[in-house]
Amino acid sequence: MKNISILYIGKDKDILETMLRVINKNPDWKGTGESSIEKAKKQLVDNRFSIILLGNGLSTDEEKEIENYVLEQELSIPVIQHYGGGSGLLQSEIFTALNQKKS
């Protein structure tokens, strides 16, 4: 399996740290986290990501801003909302989004 690079964006610092621990437990995943929209955009310029997870604390406008940025930059990266539910749900959400991208 190829490595999956994940950008997690969320305002709650504790949840962000927890999500990065969960993501980085999987040897095939590499997680990066940002709590700022501007820093997240910089990450998207500087790095290649397989998927973007939108987490807790983001407003609807901030979520739309990231989604629009991905479209405008033609990054072709799935953007999904993840607000918890355990590592099994997270894995399912990631694989579903990546499989839909292939279709």
Query: Which residues have CB under 8 Å from 39's CB, separation 6+?
Result: none
Query: Is the confidence at residue 23, as pLDDT, over 70?
Result: yes
Both tokens of residue 54? 């939108």
Q: Tell me the per-residue pLDDT of 73-86, one tens digit each, with 9 for 90 and over.
A: 999 999 998 866 66
Query: Domain range spanning residue 90?
Result: 4-102
Query: Is the confidence at residue 25, as pLDDT, over 90?
Result: yes
Total tally of structural domains belonging to the chain: 1
- For 29: left if phi > 0, alpha if psi spans -120 to 50, otherwise beta; the answer is beta
At residue 43, the pLDDT reads 97
pTM: 0.89
- pLDDT bin (cut points 50, 70, 90) of residue 55 is very high
Say which CATH number the domain at 50 has: 3.40.50.2300
Query: Is the confidence at residue 4, as pLDDT, over 80?
Result: yes
Sheet of 29-34, strands arranged across: 29-34, 4-9, 51-54, 79-81
